[in-house]
Amino acid sequence: MRGPGPFSMRGLFPFLGQRLFRALISLWLVSTVVFIVMRLSGDPVPLLLSPDAPISEMIRVRHDLGLDQPVPVQYAIFLGNVLRGDFGRSIHFREPAFTVVRGYLAATLELGITSFLLAAVVAIPIGLLSAMKRNSLVDHAAMGVALVGQAAPTFFLGILFILLLALKADLFPTSGRGDWRHLVLPALTLGAFTMASIARLTRSAVLEVLRADYIRTARAKGVAETWVVAKHTLKNAAIPIVTITGLQFGTLLGGAVVTETVFAWPGIGRLAVQSIYNRDYPVVQCTVFFAAVMFIVINVCLDVIYGLLDPRIRTS
Amino acid sequence: MASSIPASVPADAATIPAPTVGFYSHRRRSAWLAYAGIGFVLVLVLVAVSAPWIAPQDPLRQTLRGRLAPPTLEGADGRAHLLGTDQLGRDVLSRVIYGSRVSLMVGFSAVTIGGLLGSALGLLSGFAGRRVDAVVMTVADAQLAFPFILLAIGIIAVLGPSFPTLVVVIGLSGWVSYARILRAQVLSLRSREFVEAVHALGGSTLRIIAQHVLPNVLSTIVVIATLELARSIVLEATLSFLGLGIQPPTPSWGGMIQEGREYLDSAWWISTCPGIVLMLTSIVVSRTGDWLRDVLDPTLRGE
């Protein structure tokens, strides 16, 4: 029995429908948890007003924020607003939370995309080289560094980079956002884990393919080694590499919280941490929601790509 | 900070692949390395337990005259400070030694919570039928979709930083990997003849779990727990670094790295010493997990 070939649409839509449904449930759960946690975190009104504000003023502000409603009503209102992209007004910035978060988004995307590209561009050739020169000095050195990169705590890597490359060697600024030199250390820090993971996975994916019969056939036919790699190996190793690469992009969002704090990078990660300290519910909700939506969208896109490249996935 | 555990195992995970050339020698090498890794953890536990006797000084004793002293054999107070002193003149070596207590206590407690919860939910998901399975796995998906560090920061900011909060939050962050892998193993074990035979002979589900499933998945649990220990220790340090973990003056590695940040230029040792110990611990423990996996459960090798 033959299944659908690559790029055929058969079976794709039920598969996607199921994925999409799960993604929507994930979003609902995430927003519910966000709502519960933020409502547990105490009353923000005293933070908004001066300590000697009259009771009437407090009641007015509570009413404006909808905090005087019963909790289930607040929850229903919250869900309805989320659907419309309305996260309320920031308590700290005094403008719509969505606008605030959008303002910080560019910095996070700049950092995230740079570190992701840096990681992919460095890691894929290294993984390939490691696999081709298996058990050589290059392989052992590269995989050793990759293991360290995977296990090292992100925030301490950042501190080490600041100490060695910014303070001692004076090559890059220690913090803040500006020209490309500001971007190097945060991007390296944030990308370290991703870089290490992609390098290790590329190596094992390529090794896996190199063991396959068709590679032996190609070699036996006398095909040049570079051509074997370029045509057969990379093409077949691409699927796992694309998948893990995409998944890693999602984990970058979590890492951004720590990296942005270490380097005082003005993105949504740092905004979220500061908003939690300010008890600025709407901004926290909006940030977390943004991050979860990005992660889920990336995953659904990956499922589409994966389902197109490898039809076996749909039926499993 | 995500773990490198494969999200799912192949459906035929329980069938052991044919050994490749050099498989056994590789496995023996892993066994020795795993022993070495376990030895490292035992030494660390020993250091943490005996901290009051082996720490050269009281980790809280301040000597303002001897602040920010570089590593020295004879400081301003006439004592040796092998790793220097911090901004309050406290001995960095003693603080690093005491800091291991926080890391290990939080790490082991969190792994216990996550392991019990995740294993229970994984078994439940595998045995209890489609509806329960769908609910558990959807919650797992949602948790993975969430930048967990944000949730952790949120919860701790609400409840206030304390040891129990920290342990529960970090423990909760880790249940998904146990649940997913155990579920996959249960699903594959359930269709095996010996389990079906027990079922046909009238063995209850509890009996099947206790007698047949648990012994088969125990090694998997040990492997995941080791990888989770490394992740928990790093997460604790990260939260302490953000000011949400163990509060000063109790020494913790993450907190020390945070305190030393301001003095990075003039007194690098305050941040760097606990940082290097933390990094070493994280690398050795997570590698031990990988080695254990090679030895105990070759089918789990994700790469």
Residue A315 has pLDDT above 70, yes or no: no
pLDDT per position as a tens digit, B112-137: 999 999 999 998 888 887 888 888 88
To the nearest whole number, what is the mean pLDDT of chain A?
Answer: 80
DSSP character string of A59-110: HHHHHHHTTTS-HHHHHHHHHHHHHTT---B-TTT-SBHHHHHHHHHHHHHH
Q: What is the 8-class DSSP label of residue B247?
A: P
Q: Is A282 on the interface with B (CB under 8 A)?
A: no
Please identify among residues 202-221 of chain A the ones whose CB lies closer than 8 Å to any CB of chain B. 204
pLDDT per position as a tens digit, A181-200: 888 899 999 988 888 888 88
- Region of poorest pLDDT, from B107-111, B145-149, B243-247: B145-149
| Chain B environment of A211 (Cβ under 8 Å) | none
d(CA B20, CA B260): 50
Position A250 scores a pLDDT of 63
Can you tell me whether residue B209 is helix, strand or coil? helix
Distance of CA A69 to the CA centre of its chain: 36
Name the token pair of B262.
Answer: 């301001």
| Chain B environment of A290 (Cβ under 8 Å) | none
Position A119 scores a pLDDT of 87
Residue B54 has pLDDT above 80, yes or no: yes
| Cα pseudo-dihedral B31, B37, B42, B45, rounded to 10 | -150
Nearest by CB to residue A258, choosing from B11, B238, B275, is B238
Q: Which residue has the higher pLDDT, A278 or B286?
A: B286
In Å, how far are A46, B182, B204 from B198, measured between CA atoms?
A: 63, 20, 8
The percentage of residues in chain B with a pLDDT greater than 90, rounded to a whole number, is 25
Nearest by CB to residue A296, choosing from B145, B265, B278, is B145
Residue B8 has pLDDT above 60, yes or no: no
Please identify among residues 19-48 of chain A the ones whose CB lies closer than 8 Å to any CB of chain B. 22-23, 25-27, 29-30, 33-34, 37-38, 40-42
Position B44 scores a pLDDT of 92
Position B301 scores a pLDDT of 54
Nearest by CB to residue A26, choosing from B145, B158, B237, is B145
Position A6 scores a pLDDT of 52
User: Which of A19-28, B4-13, B150-159, B251-260 has the largest mean confidence?
Assistant: B251-260
Residue A153 has pLDDT above 60, yes or no: yes
**A89: number of CA atoms within 13 Å, CB side?**
10
Residue B18 has pLDDT above 60, yes or no: no
Position A296 scores a pLDDT of 76
Position B153 scores a pLDDT of 77
In Å, how far are A156, A160, B79, B134, B219 from B85, measured between CA atoms?
A: 19, 19, 11, 54, 43
Contact B279 A151 (CB under 8 A): yes
pLDDT per position as a tens digit, B145-161: 677 787 787 778 777 78
| Chain B environment of A291 (Cβ under 8 Å) | 146-147, 150
Contact B238 A22 (CB under 8 A): no
d(CA B279, CA A155): 11
If you measure CA to CA, which chain A residue comes closest to B233?
Answer: A153
d(CA A23, CA A293): 9
Residue A313 has pLDDT above 60, yes or no: no
Residue A166 C-alpha, separation from nearest chain B C-alpha, in angstroms: 10
Residue A173 has pLDDT above 80, yes or no: yes
Nearest by CB to residue B146, choosing from A22, A30, A156, is A30
DSSP character string of B93-120: HHHHHHHHHHHHHHHHHHHHHHHHHHHH
| Chain A environment of B11 (Cβ under 8 Å) | 316
Contact B279 A40 (CB under 8 A): no
Burial of B20 (0-12, 13-18, 19+ CB in 10 A): exposed
| Chain A environment of B265 (Cβ under 8 Å) | 167
Residue A210 has pLDDT above 90, yes or no: no
Please identify among residues 129-158 of chain A the ones whose CB lies closer than 8 Å to any CB of chain B. 147-148, 150-156
If you measure CA to CA, which chain B residue comes closest to A294?
Answer: B145
Residues in chain A: 316
d(CA B212, CA B205): 10
User: Which of A60-69, A203-212, A215-224, B98-107 has the largest mean confidence?
Assistant: B98-107
Confidence of residue B109 (pLDDT cuts 50, 70, 90): very high
Residue A42 C-alpha, separation from nearest chain B C-alpha, in angstroms: 7
Q: Which residue has the higher pLDDT, B146 or B186?
A: B186
- Region of poorest pLDDT, from A128-137, A139-148, A238-247, B118-127: A238-247
Residue A140 C-alpha, separation from nearest chain B C-alpha, in angstroms: 15
Can you tell me whether residue B72 is helix, strand or coil? strand
